[in-house]
């Protein structure tokens, strides 16, 4: 009986010890129990020590133990894990083993989502984004040239996290979308356009947050705009085919109309009937600068010039961007020029300059007005030619504010100088070279005698 008691006690002790020493993965706890709990804490400590030093060779052991035995214990397992596995991939030469390590890396992100997806800043969108970027970095391009898995993960990250995502998420998403469009321009065009329209407002909003470090989002918006423009996806006829049939059904959908107007503006398709219809619907829903601009262009094309000026003026009153206001004033100037009201055309161009002093087109337009309509300033054909002095002054200003226009402007200056009044004729009128002179008539500019 004594022997049996001793055996039973020994058996009980084994059961008790096994209950105290259990890994976190087996017990469903963060660190496990007993000796395994102690081992988990020790491995986490070593992981943090080696991880901070960037000593991934030494970090592999404790990280593996913590990852396999107590994966829910601490987020540091997943902060250092991708770096450690990436280091392993960089050391591996065998293609099969590299592929296995990539699977392991993806599993690390999956486990992070399993255990730590509810973190406020580094939750599921963040994890999906990092997972996708690492996949793109390490996947064999021959096996997955389009990287569609990563594209889907990034799409989900953006859907869930919006503009809170890292800027690299938006960059990688559109790079993949751009590549997929190039590989399948007909089948992927509509999705590609929708991708562009989805991410650009987010980049704009984040870029305009007022936080200095968020300027990278504004820079990325510019890069995405350039990529989209170069893609050729936004051809007017293609946009008409995609959105024209949707307008009537969505005539009360403000967000949809805003999107259409923005896209047509970017694609320079503001002469399209679809653009005009969208402008009309949008103006009825909620008057806006973009909708008023569309209606103004339509009115101009229909030779309803007074109506065009009215809508352009309405657009200016609702526009908040000074650069866009400047461009709208230039359109009003063009209408007045069409009507033969040169004074009001110049006034509109001057208003354009008041909102954007670097608008070289405004100076060029004023110079054009002076040169083309000089006959209206005087009955004296010699004095009429003094308008060319003022015109050249404006062209010199255009070059000063915008050097990129110099080549074209220099050609205009050369032509205008050929029309300067002869010195002999000026002498007969008591006008001396180098003196200050006010051009007569509606021009009224003070310039220098040449």
Q: Is residue 101 within 8 Å of 92, Cβ to Cβ?
A: yes
> 0.85 cut: is pTM over it?
no
The highest-confidence range among 1-5, 170-174, 203-207, by mean pLDDT, is 170-174
Mean pLDDT of 147-152: 96
The per-residue pLDDT for range 32-46, each reduced to its tens digit, is: 778 889 999 999 999
Question: How would residue 21 be classed by pLDDT, with cut points 50, 70 and 90?
Answer: low
Q: Which residue has the higher pLDDT, 278 or 229?
A: 278
The per-residue pLDDT for range 376-390, each reduced to its tens digit, is: 999 999 999 999 999
Residues 6+ positions from 113 with CB-CB distance below 8 Å: 124, 127, 128
Give residue 24's pLDDT: 65
Tokens representing residue 257 in the block: 């109309």
Q: Is residue 195 within 8 Å of 173, Cβ to Cβ?
A: yes
Q: Which of 181-185, 231-235, 361-365, 430-434 has the lowest mean pLDDT?
A: 231-235
Tokens representing residue 401 in the block: 């504010």
Residue 119 has pLDDT above 50, yes or no: yes
Mean pLDDT of 170-194: 95
Residue 218 has pLDDT above 90, yes or no: yes
DSSP three-state, residue 441: coil
Q: Whose CA is closest to 288, among 299, 278, 298?
A: 278
Residue 49 has pLDDT above 70, yes or no: yes
The per-residue pLDDT for range 319-373, each reduced to its tens digit, is: 999 999 999 999 999 999 999 999 999 999 999 999 999 999 999 999 999 999 9
The highest-confidence range among 191-200, 255-264, 272-281, 361-370, by mean pLDDT, is 361-370
Give residue 278's pLDDT: 93
Give residue 11's pLDDT: 36
Mean pLDDT of 214-242: 90
Residue 3 has pLDDT above 80, yes or no: no
Question: How would residue 19 be classed by pLDDT, with cut points 50, 70 and 90?
Answer: very low
Mean pLDDT of 414-435: 94
Say how far apart CA 396 and CA 81 lie, in whole Å.
62
Mean pLDDT of 302-329: 96
The per-residue pLDDT for range 431-448, each reduced to its tens digit, is: 999 999 999 999 999 999
Give residue 13's pLDDT: 37
The per-residue pLDDT for range 70-87, each reduced to its tens digit, is: 999 999 999 999 999 999
Contacts 24+ apart (CB under 8 A), 376-381: 376/342, 376/441, 376/442, 377/439, 377/440, 377/441, 377/442, 377/443, 378/440, 378/441, 380/429
Question: How would residue 10 be classed by pLDDT, with cut points 50, 70 and 90?
Answer: very low
Residue 50 has pLDDT above 90, yes or no: yes
Give residue 9's pLDDT: 36
């Amino acid at each position: 009986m004594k022997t049996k008691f001793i055996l039973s006690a020994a058996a009980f002790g084994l059961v008790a010890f096994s209950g105290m020493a259990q890994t976190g993965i087996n017990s469903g706890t963060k660190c496990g129990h007993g000796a395994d709990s102690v081992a988990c804490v020790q491995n986490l400590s070593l992981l943090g020590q080696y991880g901070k030093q960037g000593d991934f060779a030494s970090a592999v052991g404790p990280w593996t133990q913590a990852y396999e035995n107590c994966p829910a214990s601490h987020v540091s397992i997943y902060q250092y894990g991708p770096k450690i596995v990436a280091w392993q991939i960089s050391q591996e030469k065998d293609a099969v083993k590299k592929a296995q390590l990539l699977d392991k890396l993806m599993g690390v992100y999956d486990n992070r989502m399993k255990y730590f997806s509810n973190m406020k800043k580094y939750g599921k969108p963040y994890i999906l984004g990092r997972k996708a970027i690492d996949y793109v970095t390490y996947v064999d391009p021959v096996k997955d040239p389009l990287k569609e898995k990563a594209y889907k993960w990034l799409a989900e990250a953006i859907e869930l996290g919006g503009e809170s995502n890292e800027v690299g998420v938006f960059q990688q998403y559109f790079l993949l979308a751009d590549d997929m469009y190039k590989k399948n321009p007909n089948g992927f065009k509509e999705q590609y356009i929708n991708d562009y329209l989805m991410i650009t407002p987010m980049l704009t909003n984040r870029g305009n947050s007022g936080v200095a470090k968020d300027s990278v989002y504004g820079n990325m918006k510019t890069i995405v705009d350039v990529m989209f423009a170069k893609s050729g996806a936004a051809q007017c006829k293609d946009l008409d085919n995609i959105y024209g049939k949707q307008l009537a059904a969505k005539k009360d959908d403000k967000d949809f109309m805003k999107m259409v107007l923005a896209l047509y503006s970017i694609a320079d398709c503001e002469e399209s009937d679809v653009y005009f219809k969208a402008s009309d619907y949008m103006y009825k829903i909620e008057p806006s600068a973009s909708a008023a601009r569309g209606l103004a262009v339509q009115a101009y094309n229909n030779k309803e010039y007074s109506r065009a000026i009215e809508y352009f003026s309405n657009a200016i009153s609702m526009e908040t961007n000074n650069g866009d206001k400047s461009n709208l004033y230039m359109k009003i100037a063009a209408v007045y020029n069409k009507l033969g009201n040169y004074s009001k055309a110049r006034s509109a161009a001057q208003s354009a300059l008041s909102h954007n002093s670097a608008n070289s087109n405004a100076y060029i337009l004023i110079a054009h007005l002076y040169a083309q309509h000089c006959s209206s300033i005087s009955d004296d054909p010699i004095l009429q030619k003094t308008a060319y002095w003022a015109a050249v002054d404006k062209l010199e200003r255009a070059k000063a504010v915008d050097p990129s226009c110099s080549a074209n402007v220099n050609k205009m200056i050369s032509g205008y100088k050929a029309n300067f009044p002869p010195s002999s004729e000026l002498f007969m009128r008591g006008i001396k070279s180098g003196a200050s002179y006010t051009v007569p008539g509606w021009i009224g500019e003070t310039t220098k005698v040449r």
